Structure 1
Amino acid sequence: MTDKSSRSDGPTIIVVGLMLFAMFFGAGNLIFPPLLGVEAGTAYAPAMAGFLSTAVLLPALAVIAVSVSGNGIVDIASRAGKIFGLVFSIAVYLSIGALYAIPRTANVAFETGVAGLAGTTSAWALFAFTAAFFAVSLWLSLRKGGIVDSLGRWLTPALLVLIVALVVVGSMVLTGEPGAPTEKWADAPYAAGFLEGYLTMDSLAALVFGIVVIDSLRSRGIRDQRRVVTSSILAGVVAVILLGVVYLGLGRLGRGIEGEYTNGALLLSDAANQSFGAAGAWLFALIVLLACLTTAVGLITSTAAFFSSLTPRIGFRAWAVVFTLAGLLMSNLGLETIIGIAIPLNVFLYPMAVALVFLTLLQAALPFKLTWSYRIPVGVAAVFALLDLARALGFEPSETMPILGDLPLYEQSLSWVIPTAIALVACLVVDARAGEPAPEPGAAAADRAGTAKASSVHA
C-alpha cells in the first residue's frame, strides 16, 4: 500500500485520537472529576489545574515518548537493559491488563452502572453480566474493521454525546454554590490535585496504548516514519484535549450539585437523576457501560497484540481469547480482590514508567546517547519505588527506619523523584563526556514501518 497524501491524514488522526480517548476514559476517569468539584469547593480552580497537570499532561508525554521511540514500551524500557525491558514490559501489560484493568472494567460497569437498575448484586447476576460484557468486548476486539472502527467511529462519539448531554443539562439544572474545601483540599489544592492526577497512573496505559496508535496509523496507509511520529503525536493531542475538556465538564457538575459526597459514582448518579429525572439512571448506566466497554476493548487488543509479538506461534486471536477469559475469571473475584492484587504492583512500576517517559523525551532533544542516564536513574527509581510498594502492602518502612520519613515527598509517594533527578544529572555528565551520537528518533521502528499488520491490532 502506498502512502496517502499528507493532506488526507487529518481524518485518520482524528478517528485514531477518538479511539485513544476511549481507551483512556474508563469509569475511574468518569467518577473522580465531579468528586473533586464537590470536595475542592471554592478551591476548585487550583485543584483542577493540579489534577490536569498530571492526569492529562503525563499521559500526553507518554504517548509522545512512544511515538518518538516508534516501537512501544519494550524499546523504551530496553534502553535501561534488555532483560529489564522485557520483564518490565510484561509486568506493565499484566498489571494494567489481566490482573487489574481488564477485569475492573466489567466489575465497575456492573457495580456502578447496572446493579442499581437490575436491583440485584448477586454473584449470579455479576457472572451473567460479565459474561455478556466480555463476549461483546471480544467481538469488538476481533471484528473486521477493527478497533479504530469500533471505538473511533462509533462508540466514542456515542459516549461523548451522552457525556455532553449530561454536562450541558446538568450545568443548567445544578446551580448550587460551591462550599468550603474539605481538609484534603484546603491547604494546598494544586498540590493535592497534582498528586491525585499522578495516582491515576494513566501513563502506564499510555505506554501500552501508544503502539496500538502507531500500528493503527500504519495499517491505514501512513507508513513514512516521520509522518507516523507526527500523526501519533497529533492523535495523542486529540485524545488528551478531549480528556481535559471532559474532566472540566464533569468537575463543573460537582461544583453545582448540593450536598456532601464521598463517593463519585453516587454523586454522578444523583446529578443524572436531578438533571433528567427517571431517565437519568439509564443515562448514567449507559455512560458507565460505554466508558468501561471502550477501555476493555482497548486493553484486550493492546495486551493481545503485545503477547502475540513475543510468541509468533500463538497469534493475536488466541491471546485475545486468553485475556478475555482471564478478565471474566478475575472480575468475578470481586473488585476489592482485584485492587488488592494489582495496586501494589502498579505503585511499584509507575515511578520507573514516568522516569522512562522523561528520559525518552530527553534523549530526543540531546545530541549524545543516554546510556548510564537510562540505567542508573531508572534503577534509583526502582529502589525508592520499593518503599511505596511496602506501604501499598500495608507495611510502613519509616517505623523501622525513621530516617525514611524525612525523605522529601515521602508522604506523597513521590520520594523517588529527587534521588532519581540527582542520579540523572550525574549520569548526564558521564554520557556527555562519552560523546556517543544519539540514535535517530524512531530508528528502532525502522523494520516495523513497512510491516504493520492489521491482524496485530485489528486496526
Structure 2
Amino acid sequence: MKTRLTWRETGFIGTMLFGLFFGAGNLIFPIYLGQQAGSHVWAAILGLLLTGIGLPLLGVTGMGLTRSAGVFDLASKVNRPFAYAFTILLYLTLGPFFAVPRLATTSFQIGIVPFVSTGAQPVTLAIFSVIFFFIAWLLARHPGKLMTYIGKWLTPLFLGLLAIIMGAALLHPLGPISGAAHGAYATSPVLSGFTEGYNTMDALAALAFGIVVIDSIRALGVTDSRQIAQDTIKAGTISMVLMGVIYTLLALIGTMSLGHFAPAANGGVTLAQIAHYYFGTWGNVLLALLVIIACLKTAIGLISAFGDTMHDLFPRIPYNVLTGLAALLPCLFANVGLTRLITYSTPVLMFLYPLAIALIVLAVLSPLLGTSRWLFGFTILFTLLPAIGSAAGSLPTSWQATGWCQAILTANAHLPFAANGFSWAVPALAGVVLGWILARLHGERA
C-alpha cells in the first residue's frame, strides 16, 4: 500500500483521463467554432473553455470532494431510487445505446469511407465495427490496466499524430487569424462558445469516467479515500489543461483555414481539407489513424466504465459479461438502426444533462453547503421539471406536435434563459436555497 501517487503516476492518469474524454467530436467541433467565429475567435474560445473545460473539471473535482466511489454513490445523496434510475440511464445512453455505437460509425465515416467505394461500404462497416469493438472489449477487460493502454500507449500516439497536423498548420498557416464571423458568433461570440462547450455534454462523461480514474488510482496501491480524492482532482486538472490547450489551437487553426477554404458544414470536412492540403493522400491516412484512435480509446473507457458500474449495481453479473454486452450491442447498432436509436437516445441525454450539472455543482459546493438530503433532494426535484422540458424539445417532430408535448414546451419556454437552453438554472438555484434552509431548520449541516 502507498500513501499517494507520484507526479509521474498522476501525469499518466491525467493523460488517460484526457484520452477518455477526447473523442472525434472534441477534435472536430473546435475547428468548426474557429471557422464560424472568424476574427472573434478569442472571445469564442473563452466561452468554450468556460463550459467545455470548466464543467468536466468541476465534475471530476466534485467526485473527489465528496469522496464518491462513482455516479451511484454521488446520486445516492438524493435517494437510492433516484441513484439507480439516474446511473442506469446515464450508462446505457453513454454506453451501448448511444455514444459507443456512434464512436464506430464516426471513425468509419471519417477514417475509412474515403478509401472505400459506395457499394462496398455496408460490408466494410460490418467488418470494421467487429474489429473495432473486439479490440475495445479486449482492452476493457482489465480496468486496472487502462492507465497503460490509454495513458501510456494510445493517448501519446494520438497526441503525436495530432501534433503533426497542428504543427504543419501553425508553422505554415493557411491564413491570418481573421475573417468574417457567422451567425450568432458575429454578435455574441462568448455566449456562442459557451453554448458550444455546454453542448458537448462532457459533464456527463466526467461523471461516467470518475470510476475509471478511481479504479486506476486504487490499482496503483492508494486506498485512503482522502488521498484518492486529491489524486483524482490532480489528474482531472492535468487532463483539462491539456484539453484546453488543444481546443485553443484547433479553434485558431479553424479560423486560419478561412484564408484558403470556405466555411464547411462541420469541422470534420475542414480537418480533412487541412490534412490533405499539407500531406496529400498521406494526410487522409494520417487523419484516418487520428480519428480511429480518438474513438477507440473513448470506446474502451466507456465499455469499462459501463461494466464496472453495472457490476457494482448487479454483482451477480460478471464484469466480463457486462463488457461483452457493452461491446456486442453497439456493434449491432452501428450496422442497423443507429439513426432511430439516436432519435430516442438524445431526449434521454437532454433529460440527464441538467440533473448531472446540478449534482456536480452540489458536489463542488459540498465543503460549504454540506451533503444534506434536503439540499440534494430539493435541488434535483426543482431541476427535474425543466429537464423534462429539455427532453421534450429533443423529441421527434411528430411527438412535439402532440398536445401534452406542446404544453410542456410552452411551460418550459416561460422559464428564464430557456431561449439559451438553460431553463433549468433558476429552478435549480431555487431548489438549492430551499434545500439549504430546510437542512438548517432540521439541524443538519448546511
Cα deviation, residue 433, structure 1: 3.0
Instruction: From the superposition, tell whether residues 28 and 13 of structure 1 become closer, same or farther in structure 2 (CA, over 3 Å).
Output: same
- 1:416 maps to 2:424: yes
* Aligned residue number for residue 204 of structure 2: 204
Equivalent in 317, 325, 328 of residue 320 of structure 2? 317
Kept in 2, the 8 Å contact 1:369–1:431? The answer is: no
- Cα distance in 2 for residues equivalent to 1:213 and 1:383: 32
Cα deviation, residue 403, structure 1: 5.8
Task: Map Cα deviations across residues 77-121 of structure 1 (whole Å, 9 max, x no partner).
Answer: 111111011111100000111111111110100011111123446
Q: How do 1:21-40 residues align onto structure 2 when only pairs under 5 Å count?
A: 21-40=18-37
- Cα distance in 2 for residues equivalent to 1:404 and 1:226: 41
**Matched letter for residue 379 of structure 1:** L
- Cα distance in 2 for residues equivalent to 1:341 and 1:223: 40
Cα deviation, residue 143, structure 1: 5.4
SS in 1 for 2:431: helix
SS in 1 for 2:418: coil
Kept in 2, the 8 Å contact 1:55–1:200? The answer is: yes
Kept in 1, the 8 Å contact 2:19–2:297? The answer is: yes
Q: Which structure 2 residue ranges, 5 or more long, are not aligned?
A: none
* Aligned residue number for residue 457 of structure 1: none
- 1:105 maps to 2:103: yes
* Aligned residue number for residue 79 of structure 1: 77
- Cα distance in 2 for residues equivalent to 1:402 and 1:235: 43
**Matched letter for residue 164 of structure 1:** A
Which moved further from structure 2: 94-103 or 61-70?
A: 61-70
Kept in 1, the 8 Å contact 2:211–2:309? The answer is: no
- Cα distance in 1 for residues equivalent to 2:410 and 2:115: 50
Kept in 1, the 8 Å contact 2:96–2:329? The answer is: yes
Cα deviation, residue 296, structure 1: 0.4
- 1:386 maps to 2:365: no
Kept in 1, the 8 Å contact 2:412–2:423? The answer is: no
Kept in 1, the 8 Å contact 2:392–2:408? The answer is: no
Cα deviation, residue 313, structure 1: 2.2
* Aligned residue number for residue 305 of structure 2: 302
- Cα distance in 1 for residues equivalent to 2:409 and 2:345: 26
Under a length normalisation based on structure 2, what TM-score does the superposition of the two structures give? Answer: 0.93
Cα deviation, residue 407, structure 1: 2.4
Kept in 2, the 8 Å contact 1:92–1:349? The answer is: yes
Kept in 2, the 8 Å contact 1:19–1:147? The answer is: yes
Kept in 2, the 8 Å contact 1:112–1:285? The answer is: yes
* Aligned residue number for residue 17 of structure 1: 14
Which moved further from structure 2: 403-412 or 17-26?
A: 403-412
- 1:134 maps to 2:133: yes
Aligned length: 434
SS in 2 for 1:122: helix
**Matched letter for residue 32 of structure 2:** L
Aligned Cα RMSD in Å? 1.8
SS in 2 for 1:180: coil
Cα deviation, residue 318, structure 1: 1.1
* Aligned residue number for residue 222 of structure 2: 222
- 1:262 maps to 2:259: no
Q: Which structure 1 residue ranges, 5 or more long, are not aligned?
A: 439-459
Kept in 2, the 8 Å contact 1:26–1:291? The answer is: yes
SS in 1 for 2:336: coil
Instruction: From the superposition, tell whether residues 369 and 286 of structure 1 become closer, same or farther in structure 2 (CA, over 3 Å).
Output: closer
* Aligned residue number for residue 374 of structure 1: 376
- Cα distance in 1 for residues equivalent to 2:408 and 2:199: 26
- Cα distance in 1 for residues equivalent to 2:26 and 2:74: 26
Kept in 1, the 8 Å contact 2:77–2:371? The answer is: no
Kept in 2, the 8 Å contact 1:9–1:231? The answer is: no
* Aligned residue number for residue 157 of structure 1: 156
Cα deviation, residue 21, structure 1: 0.7
- Cα distance in 2 for residues equivalent to 1:18 and 1:41: 31
* Aligned residue number for residue 441 of structure 1: none
* Aligned residue number for residue 355 of structure 1: 358
* Aligned residue number for residue 239 of structure 1: 239
- Cα distance in 2 for residues equivalent to 1:272 and 1:87: 44
Which moved further from structure 2: 174-183 or 217-226?
A: 174-183
Cα deviation, residue 401, structure 1: 7.0
Kept in 1, the 8 Å contact 2:79–2:373? The answer is: no
Kept in 2, the 8 Å contact 1:273–1:281? The answer is: yes
Kept in 2, the 8 Å contact 1:108–1:335? The answer is: no
**Matched letter for residue 66 of structure 1:** M
Kept in 2, the 8 Å contact 1:404–1:410? The answer is: yes
Kept in 1, the 8 Å contact 2:392–2:409? The answer is: no
- 1:428 maps to 2:436: yes
Cα deviation, residue 334, structure 1: 5.5
What is the percent sequence identity of the aligned residues?
34
- Cα distance in 2 for residues equivalent to 1:187 and 1:223: 51
Q: How do 1:180-195 residues align onto structure 2 when only pairs under 5 Å count?
A: 180-195=180-195
Under a length normalisation based on structure 1, what TM-score does the superposition of the two structures give? Answer: 0.91
